Amino acid sequence: MGQIALDPRDRAATWTRMFETLDDVRQDCINRLIRAAKDRKSPMHTPAVITSDVDARTMVLREFDSAAWTLRFHTDTRAPKVAPIEADPRMAVLLYDKGAKIQIRARGEGAILRDAPVTKAAWENGSNFARRCYMGDGPGVVSSAPTSGLPVELEGVEPTDFQLEPARDNFAVLLVTLTEIDWLYLAHTGHVRAQFSRIESGEWAGRWVSP
């Protein structure tokens, strides 16, 4: 016999039952952020990252540390977002999974790490083709024609380790330590929303709120 398709309202009710406690929701946040960093196909792999100067950009989530509650991104030290982050570390990250109808809005404090162990490891683990993004002109440099900013001889070419040496100074890790999370599930039976705030002990205090 073929499978009987569930009415959307029945599916929504099933999902709602999966999130009966705040612990369920917090674990869902953890699971989604872990997957977002590891799976390129995850809808949350490229969230919107907002800096204190009210500017936003799409970035690739490289890692989520569920113990420290940190998000790791990579950035060029010459990028315009670096100065606002160092002047005012307040940041927000917006992630959305259309299929699951779940949105995560997170707030925290960002840090630009140029020479930390995590930065050195991230650089060493990258491919030469990926690391070439940090060669050539810095982000935002004006050009009279469409340009990748890369040296002409490296357009579509993987550089050698020797060629990449100057690029290392342009690479940094953006580490966002989360302090607030707003989780929203959109359901036909009624949306469900929860908020979490990090308290002095490092633990998370949660509450249900109206959508």
CATH number of the domain that residue 112 is part of:
2.30.110.10
Which of 61, 166, 66, 178 has its CA nearest to residue 122?
A: 61
The parent domain of residue 197 ranges over 8-209
Does pTM top 0.85 for this prediction? Answer: yes
Q: Residue 77 has which token pair?
A: 């030290």
180 pairs with which residues across the strands? 107, 197
Residue type present at position 210: S
Residue 10's contacts (CB-CB under 8 Å, 6 or more residues apart) are: none
**Domain assignment of residue 112, yes or no:** yes
**Domain assignment of residue 190, yes or no:** yes
**Domain assignment of residue 2, yes or no:** no
**Domain assignment of residue 169, yes or no:** yes
Q: Where are the beta strands (DSSP E) in 26-148?
A: 48-50, 56-58, 63-65, 70-76, 90-97, 102-113
User: What is the helix (H) or strand (E) element at residue 52, kind and residue range?
Assistant: none
Q: Residue 71 has which token pair?
A: 């998000």
pLDDT score recorded for residue 189: 87
**Domain assignment of residue 172, yes or no:** yes
**Domain assignment of residue 100, yes or no:** yes
pLDDT at 8 over 90: no
pLDDT at 1 over 50: no
- In the chain, what percentage of residues exceed pLDDT 70? 92
57 pairs with which residues across the strands? 49
**Domain assignment of residue 52, yes or no:** yes
Please give the average per-residue pLDDT across 53-70, as a whole number: 97
Quote the number of domains for the chain. Answer: 1
Over residues 171-204, the pLDDT tens digits come to 999 999 999 999 999 998 889 999 999 998 889 9
Over residues 66-93, the pLDDT tens digits come to 999 999 999 999 999 999 999 999 999 9
In angstroms, the CA 8 to CA 17 distance is 14
In angstroms, the CA 71 to CA 209 distance is 25
